[in-house]
Chains A and B, each alone.
Chain A
Amino acid sequence: MTLPDLLFGAVLPLLLGFGLSAFAARGGAGRGAWAGAVVLALGYLGMHVHLLGFLEPGEAANWTAVRTSAWLSWLVPLGAVLGVVVKSQRPALAFGQRFVLLLALLFTQTHPLVLNDGWTPIGKFVGLAGYGLALVLLWNGAERTARNEGAAYSFGLVALSGTVAAVVAGTSGSALLAQLLGAFAAAAGGAALLGLLLELRGQRPPLAASMAPVVTLVLGGVLMGAVLYSRTGRDAAFLCVLPLIVSPVLARTALGQRRSIGAQALRLGVLSVPLAAALLLAWMRYSPDPYGY
């Protein structure tokens, strides 16, 4: 890992997550909903551009030849705009409108599946349905978590999932995808830290409210790439996003009703069980040092 890798992959996203969230929180209670989408998108994009560059229109014209992950340099900003716009609508967008936007984004995200020559038409259909369902569940989980929980918990959960996803992707064959996920997790970590400080001071601005589209695109998209093009197992990838999917369910339990920081930490601990399983799977299947050869 080079110094620029470390800067764009950890230091800058962490500082950005913390700083931008602090800036967004200055608006007071009920403000700063844009922070979630913007912080996570910028934190990810810095590393993406550093490692892969920005997908230029000339390259994109030959769209079947574009590396799958390269599309994220366009999709993530779009997702951020979508997240901010949806959250700023008064009155809120109807379920049908949000569903159409979700479907459009998911179709764009899953289009590489259609291009995969190694799959039969039935395989493509099953793949599209399976990945599409997982992404809808992820979107739904991230959306509900951001709506009902504080910034510390919401960003913290994203940071945990992102970190484990990075380790799983890295262990199973792709340092590139691991670095992309790592930068994303670092941005979420910085924002979670700021959220925790605010919560300790009794403030709970909805900083994470707009994060769902970006979480779905980055976490879902990069893990999908790891499954399709690297050796990451579908089970390990699904375990990485499972905490976000089931978080709203846990929120309905007695533990979920308690708002203390201790209770939130305990919930994060419970939700880390699938993440530990994902790490174990990756560890058992692949050597702990895949690049030492």
Chain B
Amino acid sequence: MKASLIVAAALCAGASVLGVALIPTPAAEATTTAPAQYKIDPVHSSLVFKVRHMGITDVYGRFNEFSGGLSFDADNLAESKIAFAVEADSIDTANGKRDEHLRGPDFFNAVQFPRVTFASSSIEKDGDDYKVKGELEMLGKKLPVTAEVEMNGTADGRGGAKLIGFEAEFELQRSLWGMTYGVGGPLGDEISVTVSIQAVQG
């Protein structure tokens, strides 16, 4: 009896020592916690763009299919990142013939280059907003772009899932990727892109 008590006491003491060792201190948590992982919710996200036509009007379009994810922690931006892929074939400017032309070799060449991708290389605080730098790959060419990102906040979704929402804006000069059709003529070279993302944690 005495021996079993001694063994039990020893086990409890060992467990408590081990437990203390396993529970991270607040300081350790701040340095080791990985940013939360989120998956882009395509139903509540949009990717729209505009291009100047004839120098007088902005024509808008969107991509209906894209996917991606992000890991984000406002206190750990060094390890935060975002990546997404856009299906070039899903371009939609509300005109079927124009969309066919946009999918072809003059623009996205979607058969040979089915995806446009973006992967961040750094996220920095910029006042109340963020500045995301990364590489945009289009038509087989990777070039750097910088997006201004406004964080809209977080919310609890269905089943208590954590949601995060933000909007990113950036401009690109499409001819740098070799998409030169109409540049110097009726179509502008500058494309303004707005990405409105809702992402679900998990």
Provide the residues of chain B in CB contact with A68, threshold 8 Å. 112
Asked whether, in the complex, the Cβ of A173 is within 8 Å of the Cβ of B104, the reply is yes
Asked whether, in the complex, the Cβ of A229 is within 8 Å of the Cβ of B178, the reply is no
A1 interface hit (Cβ, 8 Å): yes
Asked whether, in the complex, the Cβ of B141 is within 8 Å of the Cβ of A174, the reply is no
Asked whether, in the complex, the Cβ of A67 is within 8 Å of the Cβ of B104, the reply is no
Asked whether, in the complex, the Cβ of A67 is within 8 Å of the Cβ of B140, the reply is yes
Min Cβ gap B84→A in Å is: 19
B100 interface hit (Cβ, 8 Å): yes
For residue B180, which residue of chain A has the nearest CB?
Answer: A51
Asked whether, in the complex, the Cβ of B98 is within 8 Å of the Cβ of A2, the reply is no
Provide the residues of chain B in CB contact with A69, threshold 8 Å. 105
What is the interface of chain A, defined by CB distance below 8 A to chain B? 1-2, 4-5, 51-53, 59, 62, 64-69, 112, 116-118, 173-177, 225-226, 228-231, 287, 290-291, 293
Min Cβ gap A91→B in Å is: 43
For residue B112, which residue of chain A has the nearest CB?
Answer: A229
Asked whether, in the complex, the Cβ of A176 is within 8 Å of the Cβ of B140, the reply is no
Asked whether, in the complex, the Cβ of B97 is within 8 Å of the Cβ of A1, the reply is no
A231 to B101, CA, bound (A): 9
With contact pairs A2-B185, A67-B139, A118-B111 given, residues A293 and B98 touching in the complex (Cβ less than 8 Å): yes
Interface SS of chain B: loop
Provide the residues of chain A in CB contact with B95, threshold 8 Å. 293
For residue B103, which residue of chain A has the nearest CB?
Answer: A173
With contact pairs A287-B97, A293-B95 given, residues A1 and B185 touching in the complex (Cβ less than 8 Å): yes
Report 25 cross-chain contacts, Cβ distance below 8 Å, ordered by A residue: A1-B185, A2-B185, A4-B184, A62-B140, A67-B112, A67-B178, A116-B111, A117-B114, A118-B111, A173-B101, A173-B104, A173-B105, A175-B181, A176-B106, A176-B181, A177-B105, A226-B105, A229-B104, A229-B105, A229-B109, A229-B111, A229-B112, A230-B104, A290-B101, A293-B98
Add 15 more A-B contacts to A67-B139, A173-B106, A176-B181 (CB < 8 A): A2-B185, A52-B178, A69-B105, A173-B101, A173-B104, A174-B105, A174-B106, A175-B181, A177-B105, A229-B104, A229-B105, A229-B109, A293-B97, A293-B98, A293-B101
A-B complex: 3 closest residue pairs judged by Cβ atoms? A65-B140, A173-B104, A293-B98
Min Cβ gap B114→A in Å is: 8
A4 to B141, CA, bound (A): 25
